[in-house]
Amino acid sequence: MIVIGGSASTSLAEKVAKQLGQEPGRIEIKRFPDGEKYIRIHEEVKGQDVALIQSLYRTPDEYVFEYLLIADTLRDMGATSITGVTPYLAYARQDSRFYPGEALSSASLAKFFEAAGTTSIITIDCHLHRLGDVSKVFKIPAQNVSAMNLLGKYARENLRPKKPIVVGPDEEAEQWAGTVAKELDAEHTAFTKRRVRKEGETKSRLEMDTGSVDVKGRDIVFADDIISTGGTIAEAAKACKKKGARRIFVLCTHPVLADGALKRIRAAGATRIVGTDTIPSPISTVSVAPVIAAALKTRP
């Protein structure tokens, strides 16, 4: 298999290729003075299986179109198969139409990828609210793999939490907390979110509690798929600190990190915040290359 990285995931593609014992495929990506992209693939891909790695973060529209140009070129050059690896899949949340005329962005993105020649898809900890499974978004074979085992292993070997409790900052994150807890041989729980309305208030606020778990004197390891604004993690961290938690560690797959997110979480008492390289960031300590390489080896 030839591994090619788009401009969003050049470094990650190199790591994946190394995991597979090879060099990454050569590709040239430039920009013309008017802003258009120039793509040239310097590999003979005819009759070959190709993995195209392109994470769709921060400027997803640009990276989506670049992916389409590369995939379409690979198809025209005669590639036998094109496995699209999108570690962070943009537009995954927009899977239902709540008001007339709204774009079903996840469905549209899937159609674009399929039309460009993508024959299968691999995502990592894809955030799907209602559909729940990436295979329901795409008509081609689609697989979602997780980085939580890698994050849990990193926490065990490097953070070394004392008497840890792994916590999901909300109900949806309980699955991630459970996976990390297995790596740490620890118990896990998750916060619940309740919307509370006070008389005269027009907006709702979030109220969270950890149930009956005693966190006093223990290290808390938060596990979640995405950190965007950091607001939920910060609130949960403050709640744990008030209950006597010792240290706060935060693990996430996708460090989106909107402005002020890291500052907000650290101010709430976090000792360390660790993310993966699905999105390059100051906290992208753990590489997802091993899980991508494993998925490519076992693909149908």
Q: How far apart are CA 117 and CA 73, in angstroms?
A: 9
Please state the separation of Cα 286 from the chain's center in Å: 12
pLDDT in tens, the chain (300 residues): 999 999 999 999 999 999 999 999 999 999 999 999 999 999 999 999 999 999 999 999 999 999 999 999 999 999 999 999 999 999 998 888 889 999 999 999 999 999 999 999 999 999 876 567 899 999 999 999 999 999 999 999 999 999 999 999 988 899 999 999 999 999 999 998 775 555 555 444 555 555 567 899 999 999 999 999 999 999 999 999 999 999 999 999 999 999 999 999 999 999 999 999 999 999 999 999 999 999 999 987
Edge-to-edge strand ranges of the sheet holding 284-286: 187-190, 165-168, 220-227, 248-255, 270-276, 284-286
Query: Is 193 among the residues known to form the active site?
Result: yes
Tokens of 54: 């392109």
Q: Which of 193, 238, 241, 243 is catalytic?
A: 193
Q: Residues of CATH 3.40.50.2020 domain(s) within the chain?
A: 2-146+288-297, 148-277
**Per CATH, the architecture of 2-146+288-297 is what?**
3-Layer(aba) Sandwich (3.40)
The secondary structure of 227-293 as a DSSP string is ESS-HHHHHHHHHHHHTT---EEEEEEEE---TTHHHHHHHTTEEEEEEETTS--TTEEE--HHHHH
Q: How far apart are CA 158 and CA 138, in angstroms?
A: 37
CATH for 148-277? 3.40.50.2020
